[in-house]
Amino acid sequence: MKMKRVLIITYHFPPVNNINARRFGDMAPYMPNFGWEPIILTTKSEGSLAVKVPEENIIRIGKNYYKEGIVSEEGYRGIPLILKLPYFFYKKLGIEIWSIDRFLFTWGKEVKKNKEIIKKRKPDLIIATCYPHAPLWIGRFLSKEMKKPWIADLQDPLSLWNNSKFPFIKFLDEQIDKSLLKSAAAIITLGSYLSSRMERLYKRPIEIIYNGFDEIERDNRKEDEILAPERKTKIIYYAGRFHLHRMPAIKLFIDWLAKNKKENFCFNLRSLGPMEANKEILKYAKDKNVLSKINLLPPASPEVIYQEEKEIDVLILFEDLNKVMRNSEGTLPGKLMEYLQFQAPIIAVNRSDSEIGEILRKTSRGYLVSNIEELDKAIQDVLCKKLPVFDWEKVKFYSRFNQCKNLCEIFNKVTFL
């Protein structure tokens, strides 16, 4: 049977190493198992992530703005100099339209200039993923040009994340959002909370495809290689970026360290910044007199981080404790999926109604905590080895292989319509 082709439009793709690149960078290699050959439309990027798809299957157009390592600022990376001042006022005045982003006017233009190169690949189906959101517009455009169905993959929602204080701006964003996705043959997102919100907005079924993890990495190891080594000082570990919304969660954790200075715990932190966040964390720890319990480590390769996560005592996540922001209860970080395969218990510091808690309960993989008492109870359970029973069969549902299988079933439904 002839293999079908899917054109995957994604601004971020390996070797650049971020969660947006990992979604299809790690899932695309499984697609041939289910009858689909992936063709990637992406940017020319640099980074440490392995490219698992043959380069002849990748169309690289334009330069990727993302730089690995510790960043010095969050908000203005990738913005052309001429647009920085307008973009500053755009954000300050609270008139952002989430459905339209700056990459539509930069990368989007470059892609359109090279549309004939893309058409020559003759895909049977198009899937466009965000963030940024420009790939969605490109997906719709190429769908019309090639008369092929397209699927919208919403790692980040569009107008649902608009928190503008002006009702008209929210309304306008919603109308653009709905118009953009109206022609999509299917819409996909990362979790059940966002799925239900999107179903109300778009008035159609929304499919769920999780980021997943590579179960083959576990299946090739012996059980004694999976278990963390016994050590007197327990290590709590996190590797990732500290966006502003995560700071209250890490400060809550530092408060726990301050109240339990005699406990044999240390916190190994591989932070990607921003640098201001790193400085704030270290200052807060110093003020609480627990700086000696925190090891701030430099960024490392995915292989080093994987090895550390495999051998650690506790894996910790930090997300938004604030219930005021819409949608943060539906945030499912890729780091959660990465953690599921390891033996160490997971502690997620997040708002109490987070969907993270639902997944941890389903898989018996750890604890969701939102205050210092719950955090203390979870860590005491770790000390006393009152841990959830690891059930690999429950965890395996979230493997990247199984998630790719589900995705390719959606591909088949769309192309057989």
Query: Can you give the pLDDT at residue 318?
Result: 96
How do residues 281-296 score in pLDDT, each as one tens digit? 999 999 999 999 999 9
**51 plus 195 within the same structural domain:** yes
Which domain range does residue 147 map to?
4-212+399-416
**144 plus 242 within the same structural domain:** no
For residues 161-168, give the mean pLDDT.
Answer: 85
**58 plus 207 within the same structural domain:** yes
**91 plus 130 within the same structural domain:** yes
For residues 219-239, give the mean pLDDT.
Answer: 67
For the chain, the domain total comes to 2
- List helix spans (H) across 260-354: 275-287, 302-310, 334-340
Residues ≥6 apart with Cβ < 8 Å to 402: 212, 396
Q: Is the pLDDT of residue 79 over 80?
A: no
**13 plus 162 within the same structural domain:** yes
**198 plus 321 within the same structural domain:** no
Instruction: Kindly list the distances between the CA atom of residue 12 and the CA atoms of 8, 24, 291, 377, in Å, as whole numbers in the listed order.
Output: 11, 9, 36, 39
**131 plus 153 within the same structural domain:** yes
For residues 105-125, give the mean pLDDT.
Answer: 96
Q: How far, in Å, CA of 235 to CA of 204, rounded?
A: 46
**327 plus 373 within the same structural domain:** yes
- List helix spans (H) across 102-232: 107-113, 115-119, 134-146, 167-181, 192-202, 216-219, 223-226
How do residues 293-337 score in pLDDT, each as one tens digit? 999 998 888 889 999 999 899 999 999 998 766 566 678 888 999
CATH of the domain at 71: 3.40.50.2000
Q: Alpha-carbon dihedral of residues 114, 6, 150, 152, nearest 10 degrees?
A: -100
Q: pTM of the entire structure?
A: 0.89
Q: Is the pLDDT of residue 219 over 50?
A: no
**207 plus 239 within the same structural domain:** no
- 392 vs 36: which has the higher pLDDT: 36
**250 plus 325 within the same structural domain:** yes
Is there a cis peptide before residue 132, judged by omega within 30 degrees of 0? yes
**281 plus 390 within the same structural domain:** yes
For residues 129-138, give the mean pLDDT.
Answer: 95
Q: Is the pLDDT of residue 226 over 70?
A: no
Going by pLDDT thresholds of 50, 70 and 90, the confidence category of residue 391 is: confident
Going by pLDDT thresholds of 50, 70 and 90, the confidence category of residue 87 is: low
Q: What is the mean pLDDT of the chain?
A: 89
**14 plus 29 within the same structural domain:** yes
